[in-house]
Structure formats: structure tokens, C-alpha cells
Structure 1
Amino acid sequence: MTWLKSAVAATAVVALFAGVAPAQAADGKLVVGFSQIGSESGWRAAETKTAKAEADKRGIDLKISDAQQKQENQIKAVRSFVAQGVDAIFIAPVVATGWDSVLKEAKEAKIPVVLLDRQIDTKDNSLYMTAVTSDTVHEGRVAGEWLAKKTSGKCAVVELQGTVGSSPAINRKKGFDEIVAKNPGMKIVRTQSGDFTRAKGKEVMESFIKAENGGKGICAVYAHNDDMAVGAIQAIKEAGLKPGSDILVVSIDGVPDIFKAMAEGTANATVELTPNMAGPAYDALIAYKKTGTLPAKWIQTESALFTPETAKAEYERRKDAY
């Protein structure tokens, strides 16, 4: 990814932020404005909860704005944070495009911007200081590799995509498609956005089942997040089929409900996406404020595959954190 390695962009960011004194709160705390997408999933709620907890640990004053899944609300929030003179702005961008104008306003105000869990499409990488994300293409590959191995590379797959235009939806599809291309017996027979929500995932899965001979033409469902997978599981049950056996279920995130489903035998695999995106972002910001040293342009979080063998223990470990 050339955007991760751009020396030109890095130089521009250094020039932008060098020597900037933080405008701190009255009590001396760093003030961070966080434009959060909303609460469309259990994972998103966990990210918000974790962001608050990690801010408290570091004595940071965190101001959260809930965009209710609308980019226009995020843009308004960023402009409000700029007007307030916060020390930094965190954004979990609902979609990848359309950010240059408002980020230029933050740049002119000398307020560093950090992207959380999603990336943006821009030709000017100096508009943000760093991005804390997983490798979402890799997540799609891991899900695809598990399914290819499980089915010996022979499977008719229906796909529940995330929000149209969002970087996770684009990349998780890309990674999965790479594995499908390597396995001639695997084919995506239906694909549609479930908007990362449980209700929409159920609705779309119902339409897939009707279109594919009552579900008999479906080997597996690949969902871009666990909440859509949980919705799909309900649709499969209501169609008189057994999720986890009649139709395999593989998804991404690692929220408690998917571990519960795996323990019950109604889901088969999930690829974890840690909700702690803010912790590394705070650490990078604090280090920058103290030393002036810019973080890497991309701070990558880890991803891991989980299957039913450890599901019960993982559910118990995670249920109170989400």
C-alpha cells in the first residue's frame, strides 16, 4: 500500500504539526473529540465503551459524537470539534470517500486527526496523522481460507456485505474473493449489503433463502460482521434449516453473541477484530505531544480466527466487556 509508505505525505504531516502546542482543558487534560459512526453492532458499542475506558486510564477528556450511521453528521461533528479547539480528533469513518474538505479544515486549525478501525480514500495523506486499523483484506482472506478448507474448496456461498462504500466492506469482500478465485469449486451465488446490522442481515438472508430453493442451494453464508451473521442464523432457523450444519456460518468481529452461537453449534467461525482501537491511538497521540515524534502512518491491530472448540470460554471472557 503506497499510502502507508509515502515519504511525501509524512514530510507534509511533520511540517503541519511541528511545534504545535496543545490547547488543553482547564484541568490540564488532553481533549479528544471522537466522531463515532453510531451503534449499528455489538462490536461498535464495544469500541465506544473501550474508548471511554482507555481515555479514563490516561486522564484524557473524551468527547463522543454519535453520527447515527450518517457521514453528514460526522462532518458536522468534526467541524464542531475544530471550533472547540480540541487537541485531536478521532474518526471512525462511515464511508471511505468525501473527507478531504473537512479534514483540510482540521489541518488548517493544526488539529491532528486519527482514523479508527476504518480507512479513507484521499490523495492527500497529510490530512490525517495515523490510522489504527486491522488488515481488513486479511480478515476476508482468513474467513475464505477457513471455508475453503472446511468444504474442500467446493461451496455455494451467499455474502452479506457491510455498509456500501465503507472500507471494511470493500476490503473484506476483496480478501474473500481472492480465496474464491483460487478455488474453482467455490462460488458466490448471491451478494448484498446488510449494512452491518442484525435486522438487515436477517432480512437479506431471508431473501437469499427464498431465491436459492428454500436455502437448499446454499452451502455457507459469509457475513462481513457477526451481527449480520446472527441475523442470518435466525433467518436460517425460521426457514426450517440448521445453521452451522445445513448452512455453514463464517463472519468477522468476535463479539460475544457469535461465540455463544458457536458454542450452541449454530455458527462455525469468526475472525476477531479487537474493539480496542482507541488505546493505541491515545498512546500515539500522547507520545507525539511529549516528543513531537510522529507515529507510523498505519498502526495495525491483530486478527485471529476462532472456531467452536474455544467458543464457550471466549464467550465467558468477553460477555462483560461488550
Structure 2
Amino acid sequence: MNPFSFERAENVAGAVSAIAKKDRARFIAGGTNILDLMKENVSRPSHLIDITRLPLGQIEETGDGGLRIGALVTNADVAYNEQVERRYPLLAKAILAGASAQLRNMATTGGNLLQRTRCYYFYDTATPCNKREPGTGCGAIGGFNRNHAILGTSDKCIATHPSDMCVALAALAAVVRVTGPNGERAIPFSEFHRLPGDTPELDTNLRPDELITAVELPAKGFAGHSAYLKIRDRQSYAFALVSVAAALDLDGGHIREARLALGGVAHMPWRDTQAEALLSGRPATVEHFRSAAEAIVRDAKGFGHNTFKIEMAKRAVVRALEQAAGMEQTS
């Protein structure tokens, strides 16, 4: 671990000012990801700014009937919050499917959005990785890539985003609130994370001098018909091979609106509005679920060890939609 300096911010303005003053400065809260990266010499910040004292630890109602989750609310507090459990069960289920209880007690909402890939080559500093060191190549493309992306890849990177929580937030169309030297702004969740393209080292569209202050959920939470399905190598404390957040607004047996987001398959939570549109206005049937599943993977590409994910993703989408619709599983 490289040497670094440390300070504790007392307010949001002070935190933003502090990070703008130092090169390679980073915010730290729960530290469940950044400390691992520092220990592995993957991340080498020169300065850490502790933001745990900032007033960003509340869950509050918004004026339009939604819910505002402060950036420092822990994953455990979100998952077990009465409002979240009742109005946004999809989010609660996704969080509880991730990590361990100990990590959920420390990990924060803002930190979850910013956690980095668990690609083996990213963590192994002896191997090439364009995400860790741009221009060195991608060891995963020709290497062992069982856990890697099948959608939205580039010839520079096939890493996947590791978060479960973010998959649910993508399906719920959340909004990320940030603040920086130029003031506050709102980033739709669909625009927060990035695909790798030619700059896989950039995970998000958050500017280096900006701080996440909250995540806002819209009023519509699909509380009656939602499901989070996570397929992994073991039942607990494992990242998704494929995960699906499915949410339906049903009128009897017909679908008024559908939401679908996938995890474990792309550099970012993968939401496909075209596939969702195939379900809107149609009966909630397995046939239509399969059509949406085929649409989601229409551009998927396997890299050898992970090609099985294409069929797995299709089956997982159908199964999650069946669960969201309250149907007996037939697929």
C-alpha cells in the first residue's frame, strides 16, 4: 500500500473543496472496496477524505412522492428500511442478495454505485488491464473470462459491473444527485455508468471533483409485482453470473408497463427499453416473456468461457418475469 495523507470533511462544501485541491485524492466512507484496491496496489490515492461525518445518512420522502436515500446510508439500513421494504421491495431484495451481512453493515449507497469490477485481471497487477492501466491490453479477452461481459463490450475491456443494488436501481429508473464546484446536478441512473468503449478506465460519468449526495427513487416502485433473481456459483457471498431485476405493472393479466435490468453481463447495469416495450400492452404470458428475453440478448457476444451466459440470461429473464407476475414457473 502506498503512502497517503488523510483528512476528515465536516460538511459537503468542505469535502468538495478538499478533493479539488489534491491530485489523486479520493473520498472514503465505508471503505469496503477502496481499501481492498489499495491493499492490492490497484488504486493508489495520494490523499483520502473521510466523509462519514457529512449529513447524508437519512432516508426521506421527496416532494413528488418518491424516496431520497442519502449517500451515506448503509446497504443494510436501506434493505431493512420499512419504506423501502414496502414500496420498493425489488431494491431490498437486490441488496440482500449481495455481499455478506458484515459488508452490508459498512457499505454505503454512494460507495455501492462506485465499486469497481471484480475482474481477475484488474486485480492482478502482473497482468495487462486497460481498466487499471490504459493501453496495456485486456487479459480477459483471450484469457479466462467465465465471469465476464456478453453485452456492451469493446476490444478494450469485457469486465462486468459487480453491484446487485445498481441493477435494481436501473430497473427503478433512479436518479443520482451529485454536487461539485459548479453546484448540484441530477444524473439519470441510465446515464451514470458507462460502457467501456475506448476508455474502460472510466466507470461512470461522475466528475473527479464531484460527490454523490443521494439516490432518489421515483414514486412508482412496482411493489406488487417485482422480482430479483441472481444466479451465482454459490448461494452466498458470490457475484452474479447473471442477475435480473424484473418489475411489472399489471392490469389483470395484461402488462401496462415492464422494467428489466440485468447484472453480471455488462460493464454497467444493463437495462433494455426495447425489450421492455415488447411487453407493454400485452398479456403476461411465457411466450411474451421469451420474446423479451430473446430481444435482450440480440447483440450478445460470448468470449469462450462465458458464452453459456447468453442462454443463461434468456432463461433468467423468463424466470424473473414469471416470479414478478406471480406465475407458476414453467421455464
TM-score bracket relative to the smaller structure = under 0.3
Largest Rg, 1 or 2: 1
Q: Which has the higher helix share?
A: 1
Question: How does the TM-score come out when normalised to structure 2?
Answer: 0.25
Question: How does the TM-score come out when normalised to structure 1?
Answer: 0.26
